[in-house]
Amino acid sequence: MAAELKLMGEAGMNDAGRGASVTLADLEKRYDRVNAVDGVSLDILSGEFLTLLGPSGSGKTSTLMMIAGFETPTAGDIAIDGTSVVAMPPYRRNIGMVFQNYALFPHLTVDENIGFPLKQRGVPKAERAKLVAEALELVHLPGYGERYPRQLSGGQQQRVAVARAVVFKPRLLLMDEPLGALDKQLRENLQLEMRRLHSDLGITFIYVTHDQEEALTMSDRIAVMNDGKVAQVGSPEDLYDRPSDRFVAGFIGESNFLPAIVRGMEDDVVIAECDGALIRAMCPGRPASGDKVTLTTRPERLRFADSAWNATTPQNRLSVTVTEAVFAGERCRYMLQAGDGTSMVLKEPSSAAIRRRAIGERAEISWSVADTILV
């Protein structure tokens, strides 16, 4: 790890404030017969906060390590600002890197840890001290320079690792699940800090995580990865509201999946039969009548049709039975079952004005056609 940090630290310094663009073209990484990364093509814009999101083994960390230069692609190309870097060693790529375990030197002070990449490139001591102090201010840790990593909390160590990664003013910062070891509340606080840091620096962030909420909170765009491929790229809103397939719908947040049979089309809306009811869904393609399809909608988009809620858009309706009711603070969560045995989840706000449902109660639910997607 020390060698990796040394390589990162030897990069020439550039002016901050302008992020690098990154282009991945048909990128592949094979280990024996396993394709860890399988034909990934992606354009990352200058100054963008892009997150690689996916489950373990999806290829996101392998992709990040190839961008950093710590792994060599089996095939394909990586370009930074239009220049291929596949044959370029890590220390020439001018990339900042925050590792999952922070990789701080335990025998060095905070000042010395942050100043390490500057010392490796021969920055004079006085200039080094100035840049380190600026980096500590940036991560809200002024006055911590004389402490050692063992004297810091996990969140403080993470901030020091970020300060070290940006102290030499790279145009691209790579982060490999840097918040994964922190508790939930601290992780949520630091997610907002990451957004602030990205705004302050104006450089390009490429962030790896398996945490969907983290990705939705921080990112300009998210690339969802599965089995070494990019399943979908888009803004958090795009991925949540318009998932391209069942994997994305199930991985980003929580979704209900309804098996149905296509009965017709109305412009870009498919009409499908589900448990005897006609359900309308948004559909960019044109499935044939009689095709078996899957429709999806989010639990918080469902409502009990008899509740005090005025719909102003076209609605789908379905009869269900309440099989489970759970009070979860700000929301009530209901497990429902349609007549054909399909299970669904409905989440509604917890309020004294909203009647609680009983297990075994028969009800009708409704939700917007615009919130129903064919996947």
Phi-psi region of 276 (alpha: psi -120 to 50; beta: other; left: phi over 0): left
Measured between alpha carbons, how far is 204 from 96 in angstroms, rounded to an integer?
10
Domains of the chain with bracketed CATH: 2-248 (3.40.50.300), 254-374 (2.40.50.140)
According to the model, what pLDDT value does residue 52 have? 98
pLDDT for 45 equals 96
Query: Is 75 exposed, middle or buried (CB count within 10 Å of its CB: 0-12, 13-18, 19+)?
Result: middle
Angle between helices 125-138 and 110-120 (to 10 degrees): 130
Length of the chain: 375
Do residues 216 and 240 make contact, with C-beta atoms less than 8 angstroms apart? yes
3-class DSSP state for residue 260? Answer: strand
pLDDT tens for the chain, residues 1 to 375: 444 444 444 444 444 447 999 999 999 999 988 899 999 999 999 999 999 999 999 999 999 999 999 999 999 999 999 999 999 999 889 899 998 888 899 999 999 999 999 998 899 999 999 999 999 999 999 999 999 999 998 889 989 999 999 999 999 999 998 887 677 777 888 888 889 999 999 999 999 999 999 999 999 999 999 999 999 999 999 999 999 999 999 999 899 999 999 999 988 899 999 988 999 998 877 888 999 999 999 999 999 987 655 566 789 999 999 999 998 888 899 999 999 899 999 999 887 778 889 999 999 999 999 999 998
Output the six-digit token pair for 234: 């888009």
pTM, whole model, 2 decimals? 0.88
